[in-house]
Amino acid sequence: MSDITQLERLMYIEDEPDIRLVAEIALTQVAGFNVKICKDGNEGLEAINDFKPQLVLLDVMMPGMDGPQILTKIKALDKFKHIPIVFITAKAQTEEITKLKKLGAESVITKPFNPMTLGDDIRTIWRNHYVYEAMKYATNRKQAGTGWS
């Protein structure tokens, strides 16, 4: 049985075919993830229930549904509203990154990314998310009281 604290399955939605290809190599062959790569939001939202990603990577500027719109749709799904969503974007200006984080993204990775370290970067984001969630859970339990103290 897999360890739920380990990141294994991730989904990446990206409209640029060449970036999809290099990212797939980086995330599977280099980083060893089980990756579902989708070309747009519709494909991603269709696949999400079956694939059950632990984390979603999203491009921002895409025709049709853009990254922020896809984020909103995923956050509206009961099963996936708590999974971390990370934007991978060529919008690299500080104010653009701040804006994306405010939308509820866990983190923002800017393009061009380094394919040799992309997996490590995502694992760090995952770990931070996991630690933060665990601490939040513990704090909530303490505040609610266990009945033993």
* Least spacing, CB of residue 85 vs another protein, in Å: 20
User: What are the tokens at 7?
Assistant: 């990141």
112 is an interface residue for another protein by CB under 8 A: yes
> What is the C-alpha to C-alpha distance for residues 45 and 69, in angstroms, rounded to an integer?
11
2 is an interface residue for another protein by CB under 8 A: no
Among residues 111 and 123, whose Cβ is nearest to another protein? Answer: 111
Region 26-65 residues binding another protein, contact defined as CB under 8 A: 26, 29-30, 40, 61, 63-64
> What is the C-alpha to C-alpha distance for residues 97 and 144, in angstroms, rounded to an integer?
36
Residue 26's CB is within 10 A of a number of other CB atoms, namely 21
> What is the C-alpha to C-alpha distance for residues 139 and 61, in angstroms, rounded to an integer?
37
* SS3 category, 80: coil
* SS3 category, 118: helix
13 is an interface residue for another protein by CB under 8 A: no
* Least spacing, CB of residue 44 vs another protein, in Å: 13
From the list 6, 72, 114, 124, which residue makes contact with another protein (rule: CB under 8 A)? 114
> What is the C-alpha to C-alpha distance for residues 5 and 50, in angstroms, rounded to an integer?
20
Q: Number of residues interacting with another protein: please give it, by CB under 8 A.
A: 29
User: What are the tokens at 29?
Assistant: 């062959």
Residue span binding another protein (CB under 8 A) among the ranges 2-10, 70-78, 91-99, 136-144:
91-99
73 is an interface residue for another protein by CB under 8 A: no
Footprint on this chain of another protein (rule: CB under 8 A) = 15-19, 21-23, 25-26, 29-30, 40, 61, 63-64, 89-93, 96, 110-116
